[in-house]
Amino acid sequence: MRFILGIILVSISLSSFAQFDYPIIEIEHTKLIATYSLKWQEDSLNSDFIRQEDMLLFIGDNISKFTSIDSYCFDTITRKVKSWDEFSMLTSDRNNPLPHSAISYQIFKNYPIGNLMCLEHTLDGTFKYKENIEIFNWELAGDTATICGYKVQKATTDFGGRKWIAWFSPELPINDGPYKFNGLPGLIVKIFDTHKHYEFELVSIEKPRQKLMIDYLKKDFIETTKQGFFSAKDAFRDDIIYRAKAAGLPSKSQQRAARNMKKRNNPLELKRN
**In the chain, domain spans:** 2-132+200-262
| Rg over CA atoms, the chain | 19
pTM: 0.89
Q: Are 6 and 249 in contact (CB under 8 A)?
A: no
Residue 183's nearest CA partner among 204, 142, 155 is: 155
pLDDT tens profile 185-213: 999 999 999 999 999 999 999 999 999 99
Residue 54's nearest CA partner among 245, 249, 200, 254 is: 200
- pLDDT of amino acid 78: 83
Q: How far apart are CA 224 and CA 130, in angstroms?
A: 8
Q: How far apart are CA 111 and CA 135, in angstroms?
A: 15
Which amino acid is present at 188?
I
DSSP 170: T
Per-residue b or e along 27-53, where b marks 16 or more CB atoms closer than 10 Å to that residue's CB:
bbebebbbebebebbbbeeeeeeeeeb
CA angle 53, 253, 228 (to 5 degrees): 55
Q: How far apart are CA 5 and CA 7, in angstroms?
A: 5
Residues of the chain with pLDDT under 50: 1-18
pLDDT tens profile 134-172: 999 999 999 999 999 999 999 999 999 999 999 999 999
Q: Are 217 and 75 in contact (CB under 8 A)?
A: yes
- pLDDT of amino acid 244: 66
